[in-house]
Structure 1
Amino acid sequence: IGIAGDVDPEQMRAFAEKYFGDLPGGDEPLPVRTEEPEQISERRVIIREQTQPILWIGYHRGDMKSSNAPVYDVLADVLTGGRTSRLYEGLVEQEKALGVRAISAFPGSKYDPLFAIAGAPNRGISPDSVEHMIYDELEAIKEDGISQEELQRAKTRARSDLIGQLDSNQGLALQFAQMEELKGDWRSVFRRLGAIEAITVEDVQRVAQNTFRRSNRTVAMIKTTDDEPQPTATAE
């Protein structure tokens, strides 16, 4: 529970004891954490539906306590953080995709998540085309890295986002409570900025090279049922 605003801390502590102090605690959970075996080859799934085609690409990465965690935030910003980002300019502005988004930790960040990229192809563009355009950009980062300007833009946006999130009592309570729950220390809200400020272009290229590998990749997409020719049955 996070409480923010013009309150008396001692009174809030008394209220917490009054309304929650009598709730019985549960049993301590077993100290067991199931870890997924290392992925050794690409995984793919295709669903055929008469609906909007969509593409998801996911790469395994470490959890939020990993030293590389803030680097993934920078990568997500470089790829889809605003109209000057690489995939927005290459896919959305070129009318290849209706939208594209990189998510640094999917579906959450407490345990080992995926670095995910989602894209919705434009009319007449296949998910396969969007998929390979995304790979082209990831390979460019692996080969040539990112510019100092891109890195600085990501750092500036991270600072601005944090200020915006902490600009209200609701935002303060939410951010501090989440960090206390996820990392055991609400002060981690501020340490994240320091970690991002310390990132170099070499860090981004190194993490991209270690992460964006085919063997570490899972791909899922929805295709319309008539987007490619079907085999014709032959009677014998």
Structure 2
Amino acid sequence: IGIAGDVDPEQMRAFAEKYFGDLPGGDEPLPVRTEEPEQISERRVIIREQTQPFVMIGFHRGSMQSEDAPVYDVLSDVLTGGRTSRLYESLVTEEKALQVQALPAFPGSKYDTMFGIFGVPNRGVSPDSVEHMIYDGLEAIKEDGISQEELERAKTRARSDLIGQLDSNQGLALQFAQMEELKGDWRSVFRRLDAIQAITVEDVQRVAQNTFRRSNRTVAMIKTTDDEQQPTTAAN
């Protein structure tokens, strides 16, 4: 429970005891941690339906406790953070995709998770084409890295986003409660920003090279039923 605003901490503690103190505590649950075996090759699944085609690509990554966790936030921003981001320009601006979005932690971040990228092909563009245009963008970062300007833009946006999330009592309570639950310390809200500020362009390229590998990815697609099943080649 997070409480923010012009309140008396001792009074809030008394209210918590009054309304929740009578609830009986249960036995401490045994820790449950499911660890997926290391992925050694690409996994693919295709669903054929008469609906909007869709591409989802996931790359295994560590949890939010990993030292490299903030780097994935920067990668997400460089790839799809606004109209000047790399994949937005190459896919949406060029009318190859209706939408493209990178998710730094999918479906969550507390445990080992995935860096996700999804794309919605435009009319007349195949999901396979969108998939490989995404790979082109990832390979460019792996080979040449990102510019200092891109990195600074990502850092500025991260700082702005944090300020925006903390500009109300509701935002304060939510962010602090979430970080207390996920990392055991509400102060991690501010440490995350410090960690992002410390990232270098070399860090981004290194993480991209370690993460965006064919053997480390899972690809899911929705294709229309009349879409020909043609063999495709995939980037490493």
Q: TM-score range by the shorter chain?
A: over 0.9
Name the counterpart of 2:12: 12
Aligned twin of 1:103: 103
Q: Does 1:27 align with 2:6?
A: no
The yes-or-no answer on 1:130 pairing with 2:130 is yes
Deviations 1:159-209 (A, max 9, x none): 000000000011000000000000000000000010000000000000000
1:168 corresponds to: 168
> Which ranges in structure 2 are unaligned for 5 or more consecutive residues?
231-236
Q: Name segments (4+ residues, structure 1) moved above 4 Å.
A: none
Q: Which residue of 1 aligns with 2:75?
A: 75
Query: How far apart, CA to CA, are the structure 1 residues paired with 2:32 and 2:113?
Result: 18
Q: What is the correspondence of 1:166-205 to structure 2 with a 5 Å cutoff?
A: 166-205=166-205
- Give the match's secondary structure for 1:199: coil
Corresponding residue number in structure 2 for 1:208: 208
Shift of 1:7: 1.0
Per-residue CA deviations over 1:38-63 (Å, capped at 9, x if unaligned) read 00000000000000011000000000
- Equivalent residue number for residue 146 of structure 2: 146
Structure 1: which 5+ residue stretches go unaligned? Answer: 231-236
* DSSP-derived class of the 2:101 partner: strand
1:229 CA displacement: 6.5
Q: Which residue number corresponds to residue 233 of structure 2?
A: none
1:234 aligns with none
- Superimposed CA distance per residue, residues 1-40 of structure 1 (whole angstroms, 9 cap, x where no aligned partner): 0011111111111000000011111221213422111000
> Secondary structure at 1:40's aligned position in 2?
coil
Helix, strand or coil at the partner of 2:119: strand
CA RMSD of aligned residues (A): 1.0
Partners of 2:24 and 2:187 in 1: CA distance: 29
One-letter amino acid matched to 2:162: L
3-state SS in 1 of match to 2:78: helix
